Amino acid sequence: MIIPLLEERGYMAPEYVLWGILTYKADVYSFGVVVLEIVAGKNNWKHGPNENPACLLDWAIILHQKGKLMELVDPELGSEFSKEEALRMIKVALLCINPSPVLRPTMSAVVSMLEGQTVVDELNMDLRVYGNEWTFDSLSDQFGQSQRESSMEIQSLTQSLKARWIGSSSTSAPGSLSH
């Protein structure tokens, strides 16, 4: 049965659940899920109209497509909240739960959008677009490119640190331990 498995993994990024690929934006996905749960006052699973079993993320996407995102806000809040801030949080959360890690914002961009320092990026919830990004080959190519870039950055950082270490040991103060 797949539902209990997914319930336990409701916060895990799809690329990790489906293919075991852990990207640096997996936490962004999890953050988006938590934000939606907080705003809605509902658990990620078992939410829908009349509490029929459904996924909160799917419900949020449906409400976005219908232009009714404010229906996602927890009714327990009444009118004691900023509608503008709630809408901003929901839109940022929707960006975070993008199935494609490449299309998710970075956490620094998320913070900037939530603080109101930058405009919230436009949401594109066209599932046909996501369908292309969901393919294993597409994710593998994107992950491979990300790995190559990360590897080059790590090499550069390692060389830089090595140069600093070697440079600092040759100019160490008298009486210090030599290597």
Query: Which sequence spans correspond to the domains of the chain?
Result: 2-128
What are the phi and psi torsion angles at 166 (to 5°)? -65, -45
CA distances to 23, 58, 83, 118, 145 from 65, in Å: 28, 11, 19, 23, 32
Is residue 120 helix, strand or coil? coil
For the whole model, what pTM was predicted? 0.63
pLDDT digits (tens, 9 = 90+) for 46-56: 645 565 546 88
At residue 149, the pLDDT reads 47
pLDDT digits (tens, 9 = 90+) for 6-20: 444 578 888 888 888
CATH classification for the domain delimited by 2-128, as one of 3.40.50.20, 3.30.360.10, 1.10.510.10, 1.20.1250.20: 1.10.510.10
Per-residue DSSP letter, 45? B
What are the phi and psi torsion angles at 77 (to 5°)? -75, -20
